[in-house]
């Protein structure tokens, strides 16, 4: 290609000519085959470069192309929105469950606190000197210490009495030990202690069930507490309280 052609063609294609120059150039192209052929070559060169650049850029950007090969962006966006809503819903559910569980635990504790009173043991004879035997004396001392809230004295004595087969009120001693454990917030110990009360003891089985139910409430074991409260349905003393708690739960 003649060098003078190159400059003229570039000026024409780069839109650097005014109207007159442009028209003159076009007329020249119509007359001059060589110039026309050079113009066609230059156009093809530019087309090739343009296409090459386009392909290069497409391959470069395809590293992150999210559109190609996907059905509708719309769907993608909609799914994104659905996922966000689902995630939000899930979070709300988790929070609700956590809140519910927290409240339930708190409620059980509240029920326990509003119902727990130390088992009252009546000591007919007021001094150890009135006792008829050594065991009876020990029981008098333990009972009085229990009534006074002196757990350090009452605890070991009641443990001895609870393990003594000669002592007639063994279950009572165990019941008091369970109460002491509850008063000291040793819930697990209270449960294991109260479970030792003989269920065949007609005088104490409802008392034991009542305190066991309270111990379960304190530990958050709702089902076990309900089981014990159900037993209390036949107790004249505890029936009313038990059904009230069962309704609450």
Q: Among all chains, which residue has been given the structure tokens 């709300």?
A: 92
Site string for another protein, 76-95 (x = CB under 8 A): xx------------------
- Near another protein by CB under 8 A: residue from 7, 32, 56, 188: 56
DSSP state of 72: -
What minimum distance in Å lies between the beta carbon of 91 and another protein? 22
Q: Among 4, 20, 31, 60, indicate the residue that binds another protein (CB under 8 A).
A: 60
The correct pick among 34, 51, 240, 244 for binding another protein (CB under 8 A) is: 51
Among 24, 73, 90, 91, binds another protein (CB under 8 A): 73
Segment holding 231, helix H or strand E: helix 222-231
- Helix/strand/coil (H/E/C) assignment for every residue in 7-26: HHHHHHHCCCCCHHHHHHHH
Q: Let me know: does 208 contact 191? Beta carbons within 8 Å.
A: no
Tokens 């029936």 correspond to what residue? Answer: 239
Binding status of residue 217 toward another protein by CB under 8 A: no
Checking 15-20 for CB contacts under 8 A at 24+ apart, the result is: none
End-to-end Cα spacing for the chain: 99
The nearer residue to another protein, 34 or 130, going by C-beta atoms, is: 34
CA distance 58 to 175: 84
Smaller CB distance to another protein: residue 67 or 203? 67
Nearer residue to another protein within complex by CB, 42 or 160: 42
Closer Cβ to another protein, 76 or 237, answer by number: 76
Count the residues of the shown chain that bind another protein, applying the rule CB under 8 A.
43
Contacting another protein within 160-199 (CB under 8 A): none
The residue from 4, 20, 74, 166 that contacts another protein (CB under 8 A) is: 74
Tokens (6 digits) for 233: 């349905």
Task: Provide, rounded to whole angstroms, the least separation between the CB of residue 85 and another protein.
Answer: 19
CA 137 to chain centre: 54
User: Residue 59 to residues 16, 63, 172: CA-CA distances in angstroms?
Assistant: 33, 7, 88
DSSP 17-61: S-HHHHHHHHHHHHH-HHHHHHHHHHHHHHHHHHHHHHHHHHHHH
Among 67, 134, 202, 203, binds another protein (CB under 8 A): 67
Positions 13 through 42 that interact with another protein (CB under 8 A): 13, 15, 19, 22, 26, 29, 36-37, 39-42
Which residues are at the interface with another protein (CB under 8 A)? 1, 12-13, 15, 19, 22, 26, 29, 36-37, 39-58, 60-61, 63-68, 72-74, 76-77
């Amino acid at each position: 290609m003649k060098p003078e052609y190159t400059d003229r063609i570039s000026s024409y294609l780069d839109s650097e000519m005014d109207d007159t120059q442009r028209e003159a150039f076009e007329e020249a192209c119509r007359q001059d085959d060589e110039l026309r052929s050079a113009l066609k070559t230059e156009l093809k060169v530019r087309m090739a470069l343009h296409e090459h650049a386009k392909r290069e850029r497409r391959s470069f950007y395809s590293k992150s192309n999210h559109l190609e090969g996907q059905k509708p962006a719309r769907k993608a966006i909609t799914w994104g929105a659905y996922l966000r809503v689902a995630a939000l819903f899930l979070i709300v559910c988790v929070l609700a469950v956590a809140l519910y569980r927290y409240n339930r635990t708190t409620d059980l504790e509240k029920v326990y606190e509003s119902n727990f009173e130390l088992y009252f043991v009546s000591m007919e004879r007021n001094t150890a000197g009135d006792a008829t035997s050594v065991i009876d004396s020990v029981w008098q001392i333990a009972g009085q210490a229990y009534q006074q809230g002196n757990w350090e004295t009452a605890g070991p004595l009641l443990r001895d009495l609870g393990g003594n087969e000669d002592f007639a009120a063994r279950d009572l001693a165990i019941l008091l030990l369970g109460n002491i454990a509850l008063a000291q917030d040793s819930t697990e110990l209270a449960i294991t202690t109260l479970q030792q009360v003989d269920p065949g003891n007609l005088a104490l089985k409802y008392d034991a069930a009542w305190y066991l139910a309270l111990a379960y409430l304190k530990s958050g074991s709702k089902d076990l507490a309900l089981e014990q409260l159900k037993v209390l349905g036949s107790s004249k003393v505890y029936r009313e309280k038990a059904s009230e708690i069962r309704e609450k739960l």
